[in-house]
């Protein structure tokens, strides 16, 4: 058994960076909304993307899972019942690099051209956020396959995606999600 958050975080990264569902094993809808390996990459050494010492080479299309809060599910939740239902708030940060001097640092996807997208950081960041939301919101990608404990139930965006220019050619998009999950009441989830 490991910490509840470690399990949930691993699932979020599996969807965003490890190609969960791209082989079609989780169904056609999951396949359509899955994210191919190489589109995004996990933040280096789990470092916050806002850190000014974060390496530029690892910045473009990096994603970071930022846990914000946790609460009981707002529905009736008797502490003696199992499973227990909880709702975590988690921010997904996705980064893009921009500026004409750093085209070599881009991680391009599909038909993207460095010369074009280098000047479109806001469009690119928002588009990436939407792509991530589409995948995280897919129930088959989130909870399909072998059941997890704790089990993620739904990942719903709360409010909008916000953009933040960090300066020096770094743009960060942040989207807050409500992640509902269930716990087995007999488990302590000690790390």
38 binds other proteins (CB under 8 A): yes
Of positions 5, 9, 18, 134, contacts other proteins by CB under 8 A = 18
9 binds other proteins (CB under 8 A): no
104 binds other proteins (CB under 8 A): yes
Nearest to 124, CA basis, from 61, 48, 59, 54: 61
* Span 112-171, contacts to other proteins by CB under 8 A: none
98 binds other proteins (CB under 8 A): no
Q: How far is CA 180 from CA 85, 153, 156, 165, 173, in A?
A: 7, 5, 8, 30, 22
51 binds other proteins (CB under 8 A): yes
Binding segment for other proteins (CB under 8 A), chosen from 58-66, 75-83, 130-138, 156-164, is: 58-66
37 binds other proteins (CB under 8 A): yes
User: What residue has token string 């893009």?
Assistant: 96
Q: Tell me if residue 72 falls in helix, strand or coil.
A: strand
DSSP line for 144-191: -SSPPSSEEEEEEEEEEEEEEEEETTEEEEEEEEEEEEEE-TT-----
CB of 43 to other proteins, least distance (A): 8
62 binds other proteins (CB under 8 A): yes
Which run of H or E residues covers position 14? Answer: helix 4-17
Q: Tell me which residues touch other proteins (CB under 8 A).
A: 17-18, 37-38, 41-45, 47-48, 51-58, 60-62, 104-107
């Amino acid at each position: 058994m490991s910490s509840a958050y470690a399990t949930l975080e691993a699932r979020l990264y599996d969807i965003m960076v490890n190609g969960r569902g791209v082989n079609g094993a989780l169904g056609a809808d999951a396949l359509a909304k899955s994210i191919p390996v190489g589109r995004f990459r996990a933040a280096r050494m789990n470092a916050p993307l806002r850190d000014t010492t974060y390496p530029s080479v690892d910045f473009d299309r990096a994603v970071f899972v930022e846990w914000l809060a946790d609460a009981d599910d707002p529905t009736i939740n008797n502490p003696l019942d199992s499973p227990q239902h909880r709702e975590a708030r988690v921010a997904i940060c996705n980064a893009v690099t921009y500026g004409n001097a750093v085209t070599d640092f881009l991680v391009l996807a599909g038909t993207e051209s460095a010369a074009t997208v280098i000047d479109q950081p806001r469009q690119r960041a928002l588009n990436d956020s939407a792509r991530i939301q589409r995948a995280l919101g897919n129930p088959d990608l989130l909870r399909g396959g072998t059941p997890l404990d704790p089990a993620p139930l739904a990942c719903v965006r709360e409010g909008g995606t916000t953009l933040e220019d960090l300066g020096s050619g770094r743009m960060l998009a942040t989207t807050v999600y409500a992640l509902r999950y269930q716990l087995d009441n007999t488990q302590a989830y000690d790390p």
